[in-house]
Amino acid sequence: MIEENNTQKEKVLSIISKFIEVDRKMDFNLIESIMFVKMILELEETFHIEFEDEMLSAFKFSTVDSFIEYVIGKLINKN
């Protein structure tokens, strides 16, 4: 399970890095909203998950790590 989570984290990080230069402690609120939406769409398509409407704002996440943890939580709950 831990190895699977690490693999999923790396996949999520790979997708995020297509859109932004990743510093995992970076203030996630600095990301442009268009890039954020594109990133979410790719994550939803790749992992067959759906973000809740209230989570469709970068302001909901303080850092890249907090965003990754949210996505991993969606993946764990999906399985």
5-57: per-residue pLDDT in tens? Answer: 778 889 998 888 888 777 656 566 667 788 888 899 999 999 999 999 999 88
* Domain contains 9: no
* Domain contains 16: no
Looking at residue 44, what is its pLDDT?
Answer: 96
Within 20-63, residue ranges assigned H as helices are: 33-47
* Domain contains 7: no
* Domain contains 48: yes
* Domain contains 37: yes
* Domain contains 47: yes
Residue 62 lies in domain: 24-78
pTM of the model: 0.74
Q: How far is CA 43 from CA 10, 67, 70, in A?
A: 12, 11, 12
* Domain contains 28: yes
* Domain contains 17: no
Looking at residue 74, what is its pLDDT?
Answer: 94
Query: pLDDT-derived band of residue 1, with 50, 70 and 90 as boundaries?
Result: low
Looking at residue 49, what is its pLDDT?
Answer: 96
Looking at residue 33, what is its pLDDT?
Answer: 80
Number of domains in the chain: 1
